[in-house]
């Protein structure tokens, strides 16, 4: 059955990671297994997702403040790291599934570019759909699939990905050089904790933080 993209903001972290891994295809088998292990570990040591993680907005204050600290730690890691250097490692066909409903014409096989960083991180890029492929540190989108063509590359010819990988490399370098100012402006308890953060004058809402990556933001009106 064809599928429509789930509302990622409403998904728990593990479910969100599982969806992205499934979309990426066979290369993500190991990631999926890790997600399953992570989900089991979380269930065994913390509350399950059918139980609320908070009761009041005030309870979320400490969690949101820690989230900002994690983002700042990630900023420092990026500032001290050498500039990202991406190498085009392949062009392959992959099924891009963007939803949970049948008859979605946007679900199709299309060329995907693999751009690998020196640290082993893999960026998989594809085109012709309005979805953010790589978020920026300030909550905006660094690279949207709508900016790229459907026929992004020639399957089997990694060199045809050189241009798009170089373009992402330049954007990552510009993003890493920016100084980001984040301020916690509001906490919300809606079954779980949400943090509303002012990032350089725009407000974003998130429920997920990590030391390895920046959260998935939803832009909201500032309180």
Residue 131 maps to a domain: yes
Portion of the chain with pLDDT greater than 90, in percent: 44
Portion of the chain with pLDDT greater than 70, in percent: 71
Residue 183 maps to a domain: no
Residue 94 maps to a domain: yes
Residue 19 maps to a domain: no
The pLDDT of residue 46 is above 60: no
Using an 8 Å Cβ cutoff, are 111 and 174 in contact? no
The rounded distance, in Å, linking the Cα atoms of 196 and 184 is: 6
For 138, the domain range is 86-177
Residue 2 maps to a domain: no
Confidence of residue 8 (pLDDT cuts 50, 70, 90): very low
Residue 34 maps to a domain: no
Nearest to 210 by CA among 28, 44, 73: 73
Say how many domains are in the chain.
1
Handedness of CA 15, 30, 165, 110 (dihedral sign): negative
What sections of the chain are H helices per DSSP?
13-24, 29-45, 61-80, 162-177
Q: How do residues 144-192 score in pLDDT, each as one tens digit?
A: 999 999 999 999 999 999 999 999 999 999 999 999 999 999 999 988 8
What sections of 81-222 are H helices per DSSP?
162-177
Residue 155 maps to a domain: yes
Q: What's this model's pTM, rounded to 2 decimal places?
A: 0.68
Residue 39 maps to a domain: no
Q: How do residues 189-217 score in pLDDT, each as one tens digit?
A: 988 899 999 998 899 998 877 767 777 77
pLDDT at 26: 44
More confident residue, 87 or 5: 87
């Amino acid at each position: 059955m064809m599928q429509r993209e789930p509302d990622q903001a409403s998904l728990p972290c593990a479910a969100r990671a599982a969806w992205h891994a499934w979309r990426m295809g066979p290369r993500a088998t190991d990631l999926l297994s890790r997600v399953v292990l992570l989900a089991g570990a979380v269930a065994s040591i913390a509350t399950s997702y059918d139980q609320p993680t908070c009761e009041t907005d005030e309870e979320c204050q400490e969690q949101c403040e820690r989230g900002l600290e994690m983002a700042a730690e990630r900023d420092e890691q990026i500032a001290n790291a050498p500039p990202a250097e991406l190498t085009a490692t392949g062009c392959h066909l992959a099924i891009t599934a963007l939803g949970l409903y049948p008859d979605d014409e946007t679900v199709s096989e299309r060329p995907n570019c693999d751009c690998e960083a020196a640290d082993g991180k893999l960026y998989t890029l594809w085109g012709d759909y309005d979805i953010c492929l790589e978020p920026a540190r300030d909550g905006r989108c660094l690279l949207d699939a709508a900016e790229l063509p459907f026929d992004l590359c020639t399957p089997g010819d990694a060199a045809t990905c050189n241009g798009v990988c170089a373009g992402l490399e330049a954007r990552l370098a510009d993003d890493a050089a920016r100084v980001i100012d984040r301020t916690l402006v509001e906490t919300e308890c809606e079954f779980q904790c949400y943090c509303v953060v002012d990032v350089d004058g725009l407000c974003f809402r998130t429920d997920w933080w990590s030391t390895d990556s920046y959260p998935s933001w939803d832009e909201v009106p500032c309180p």
